[in-house]
Amino acid sequence: MAKRSFPLAKVYGLLEPGPVVLLTTARKGKANVMTMSWHTMMEFEPPLVGCVVSGRDYSFAALKATRQCVLNIPTAALAPQVVGCGNSSGRRVDKFAAFGLTPLPAAQVEALSRGMSVSHEYSLVSDPAARRITSASPSSGES
């Protein structure tokens, strides 16, 4: 299936109510794909997506270093591969090879696209307020 352009103002319609996505990253020649289900639209124009990637996830280091990723929305036919990616770590296995996924170059970022029917490329943005909230310690007495 050939990819086509999609209006940025309509991206939210594809991401709500929150499908499971495959987040792809690439760093120093090593690509990775992870299953992610916690994401939300934070702004519609320009599109801003909020998501959670744990510092323990293999993808986190690449995401933090490159500040780029691709969110791929898989079809139902890819459910076994999505589950497999979610149950394994890129530290130990090349998930593209292990689950028969074909990495394709993205158009605007270094991260790889999965080659699915819907792929959105993202660059990370900094928000000092968000950093303050996420870095607050539960034991610090702040509420």
pLDDT, one tens digit per residue, over 45-78 is 777 888 888 899 999 999 889 888 888 888 889 9
Which of residues 29 and 120 earns the better pLDDT score?
Answer: 29
The architecture that CATH gives domain 8-124 is: Roll (2.30)
Give the mean pLDDT of the chain. 77
- Compute the distance between CA of residue 108 and CA of residue 97 in angstroms, rounded to an integer: 24
pTM of the model: 0.72
Q: From the CB of residue 17, how many other CB atoms can be counted at a distance below 10 Å? A: 5
What is the chain's length? 143
**Alpha carbon of 130 to those of 91, 126, 134, 139: distances in Å?**
28, 8, 6, 18
